[in-house]
Structure 1
């Protein structure tokens, strides 16, 4: 990970960055193999200690492959000034007094050019993410930049590790599985280094599933509602959590979403949607540049419809047949299917999948997370994004299917082997 965070930004590092990531993933697999030789009673400490070291390494450099944190800083600053974050775009003259040379360089302050992405669009981030931004802003010393956000993301990453260790232990499972999340290069790079707020959604999604597994449906709905109000993607885990008292859970979730949105709706009305509709169009989820695997056999217009139908079928299966005591298994299936079909180009979206893979003890799904890096870096590498999406996610899908087939085959083989018969003595009984 040291090489990954020090090698530079994608447009400069190019193939060196993808090579460093490949080496990091290879080292990750070797470390997971070596962890098998650690005694089980000591495994939790080793997993957590390794996670702390990796997060510390990632904190040694500012964010390397994203500029999302700049919007986080700006939204926190706007809220601290008493302004609703959904009211104005960053370049709006009403916010001119909040500009500084870091986000708005001196040479173009008059024209309001800025380092913030989508500067003419209102923020896309939901209310709980916004609360996190202003909380970090309030706790940050004056003049700090990305560091506090990185530290907060690192702490969230470690909190997920602790949650996984506790859930695995309470289920009587091997704590080594937590390393699947804690030591994953994607986890470390996108939390402590790139400071993506998605990790807060992972904390809440895992917590909500844990509450659902304990049949605390009301609280599970509240926590899952908060997760969806960080980023929309944690909503993918909800179908797996509704087997026990679904009405209570869904009402609690809906009530939570209403509560966190109401202040902003009262302030700006429909402006709370921000850039979300434009983002979905820009990212091609209508069929233009996503759903690459389905578009191998379907027209562009039909691909998102087919993807939605497949996802609906998987969701229905999880709702009807999922194990309420282990909702993360169903959540992994729904979330993984959605990501394979849609082929998102942003690795930090896959943080949730890696956490679910650790809980479900399904390491093959980490391949789907790794697949996002070639797609994300394709423009910097001069590669065709759609073709890259096709082979990267296609290869990951093959890994998942092969592992699933091997698991089914092993289960059938085990079932076909007759249980050992008790040994009987052939000697004559003796008198007592």
Structure 2
């Protein structure tokens, strides 16, 4: 037991060193693979350590790894620059949905950090008419939902002058640690390690400060609550749309014996109310659509028409079939959760839906999988972590074309999930008997 704990701790020290290297520059495939290998090794050696002894290592190790994300500016994403800009625009009394950052009407809000005078540096976007900015897609309005916008505004208000990216990183750190503590309480230290030691947390939740972390925290809190579950899930959706995949899990088994209207209404009504109320101020304030750049983003990322997405399905069928097939399969997964899901373990259905979405649509962004990592920790189904690894590989190597490493990793992740399901199914049947 002591040897297992020592080896797990040693792996975490090595992982901390690798994560330090990862946040020091752009994504590199070798560092990603090494980090995930160390993560898997640490979890493997920790499996026989008693919960009481493992708990401190999980919490302290998770906090140390998350803190490493604070030591450098965002290393592999420019999204947080848009967050800072949206907060600044709102503080000026302007809707972030009405004007893109390049709009001359907002020129008075520009500074040398987000709009540097020297356009010779890396990761800068040109502005029409000259100049440059650190904000990606500067000619289109924001894409982020209203609760995320409220978070950006709050961070802006709380940020000292000249804090730049650091305040958003500290917000991501606080939410990652709160999620760790919540998972430790709800699922135990052994499962919480899946979140605490996962390389995606310090890199994407903290260093790159992705607002996805707000949605993840709200989903975890929702599944730890009962009375406020619907409202918290609605808030998660209003922070980042991906947590909508957790809603079917909250309704697991609702169709088992006819529609359980009381539970259905207890989730759907408060969730819908929270989303509606969060959008309402922006609808009243904005002259443009509060959907922002979302339709354009879906087209740009080629979710409409196939493109480089649906990599696993495109191994099995013609490219043109993949988009409709992915939507149909995801709908069937949702129906299966609503009919056969375990109401006592709603996070299990949420994991099945959110993980299936990643495996069917194969996004190229590693932070999309933060929700799956948290849900895998809640349910103890480590095989779903492969979807998060595949997303990291896709981000490090480029779009998941059929001949790319990302496609192989997504296919392997899907196979691991199927194997895990086939192994766990008879065990679950024996337990019920």
Q: Is the 8 A contact 2:141 2:293 kept in 1?
A: yes
Q: Greater CA radius of gyration, 1 or 2?
A: 1
Deviation at 1:414, TM superposition (A): 8.2
Equivalent residue, structure 1, for 2:17: 2
Give the alignment's TM-score, normalised by structure 1. Answer: 0.87
Where does 1:388-399 land on structure 2 (aligned, <5 Å)?
A: 388=404, 389-399=406-416
Is 1:52 the counterpart of 2:63? The answer is: yes
Find the partner of 1:195 among 174, 184, 209: 209
Q: What is the total number of aligned residue pairs between the two structures?
A: 398
Q: Secondary structure at the match of 1:79?
A: helix
Deviation at 1:264, TM superposition (A): 0.8
Q: C-alpha deviations, 1:342-384, integer Å up to 9, x for none?
A: 00110000000000101111011111100112211224xxx87
CA 1:106 to 1:283, structure 2 compared with 1: closer, same or farther past 3 Å?
Answer: same
CA 1:224 to 1:367, structure 2 compared with 1: closer, same or farther past 3 Å?
Answer: same
Q: Is the 8 A contact 1:91 1:113 kept in 2?
A: no
> In angstroms, what is the RMSD of aligned CA positions?
2.1
| CA distance, structure 1, for counterparts of residue 139 and residue 64 of structure 2 | 39
Deviation at 1:270, TM superposition (A): 4.8
Where does 1:63-212 land on structure 2 (aligned, <5 Å)?
A: 63-107=74-118, 111-168=130-187, 174-211=188-225
| CA distance, structure 2, for counterparts of residue 164 and residue 40 of structure 1 | 13
CA 1:177 to 1:145, structure 2 compared with 1: closer, same or farther past 3 Å?
Answer: same
Equivalent residue, structure 2, for 1:401: 418
Q: Secondary structure at the match of 2:403?
A: helix
Where does 1:296-375 land on structure 2 (aligned, <5 Å)?
A: 296-375=315-394
Q: Is the 8 A contact 2:180 2:196 kept in 1?
A: yes
Q: C-alpha deviations, 1:204-243, integer Å up to 9, x for none?
A: 11122223xx3x2xx2221111100111100001011124
Equivalent residue, structure 2, for 1:226: 235
CA 1:77 to 1:408, structure 2 compared with 1: closer, same or farther past 3 Å?
Answer: same
Is 1:241 the counterpart of 2:250? The answer is: yes
Is 1:34 the counterpart of 2:39? The answer is: no
Give the alignment's TM-score, normalised by structure 2. Answer: 0.87
* Structure 2: 5+ residue stretches without partners: 1-15, 120-126, 255-261
| CA distance, structure 2, for counterparts of residue 87 and residue 408 of structure 1 | 51
Q: Is the 8 A contact 2:86 2:152 kept in 1?
A: yes
